[in-house]
Chain A
Amino acid sequence: NAGVMQNPRHLVRRRGQEARLRCSPMKGHSHVYWYRQLPEEGLKFMVYLQKENIIDESGMPKERFSAEFPKEGPSILRIQQVVRGDSAAYFCASSPYRGENTEAFFGQGTRLTVV
C-alpha cells in the first residue's frame, strides 16, 4: 500500500517560471492538504481539497498560487511566475475522510528552489 506520493522531489525554477507540484494521495484517501515549510519554520497550511472541490484555501496566497484535485489523477499545486520567496518545501498530506480528530499522512515533499 503505497503512501502519499509527491513528485518531483526536487524542482529548480528560474524567477518568472511556473512550478507544478504533484501529489497522489494514499489509496482510498479522497482528502488532500497542501502545506509549505519555509527554512527554520514549521509547516503552514495552504489549502484543503476533495475530489474536484476546494474546501478551504485560507492559507493560500491570493495571487500566483492555485490548486486542484481532479476526478482522475493527482492533486496539483501550481505556482505561476515564481519568486525567490517561494523557495520552500511543499508537503502534501491525505486523509481517508473528512472528520474531526483525523491524522493526516504526509508525502516526502517537493523542495522548490527558485534561482
Chain B
Amino acid sequence: DQQVKQNSPSLSVQEGRISILNCDYTNSMFDYFLWYKKYPAEGPTFLISISSIKDKNEDGRFTVFLNKSAKHLSLHIVPSQPGDSAVYFCAASAPGANSKLTFGKGITLSVRP
C-alpha cells in the first residue's frame, strides 16, 4: 500500500523555467512533509519541509505547497538549473511516529541547458 505517491517517474524542463514536482498521500495522519534530493550513488539530501498547519513554505528557489483537503503537495523550483537534475523524493511523517519517514518512489528531474 503506497501511502506516498509520486505518479510521474520523470520530468524534463528547460533551464530557467519552472519545475513542478507533484506528490499525493493517502494517510490523513501525516502532518509533516519533506522533500529530499538525491544524486546517483549518494544519500538523500534534505531540501525543504512543510508542516500541516501551513500551506506554503519558501526557501530561495524552492517552494513547497500543501493542499490538505486534496492530500496533495508540490515542489516548485524556479528558475530551474542544470545542477537541479536529480531524483526528488517526497516524504511524510505522522505524529507519534518517532519521526520515521514514509517515502514516495521519486521523480527524476532533468533540466536541459
Contacts and interface: CB of A to CB of B under 8 A. Distances in A.
Interface of A: 4, 6, 31, 33, 35, 40-45, 48, 55-56, 59, 91, 93, 95, 98-109, 111
B73 to A, nearest CB: 15
Interface stretch (B62-70, B75-83, B92-100): B92-100
Interface residues of B, number: 27
Contacts of A43: 44, 89, 91, 101, 103
A59 B36 CA distance: 20
21 contacts: A4-B43, A42-B89, A42-B106, A44-B103, A48-B99, A48-B100, A55-B98, A56-B100, A59-B100, A100-B32, A100-B95, A101-B32, A101-B51, A101-B99, A102-B99, A103-B34, A106-B36, A108-B41, A108-B42, A109-B42, A111-B41
Contact of A48 (B32, B91, B95, B98): B98
Contacts of A98: 98-99
B105 A104 contact: no
Interface of B: 4, 6, 31-32, 34, 36, 41-46, 49, 51, 89, 91, 93, 95, 98-106
A101 B100 CA distance: 10
In the A-B complex, the 9 residue pairs with the smallest Cβ-Cβ separation, listed nearest first, are A42-B103, A106-B43, A43-B103, A42-B105, A103-B46, A45-B100, A101-B32, A108-B43, A106-B44
- Find the residue from B41, B51, B99, B106 having the highest chain A CB count within 10 A: B99
B66 to A, nearest CB: 13
Contact of A106 (B4, B45, B93): B45
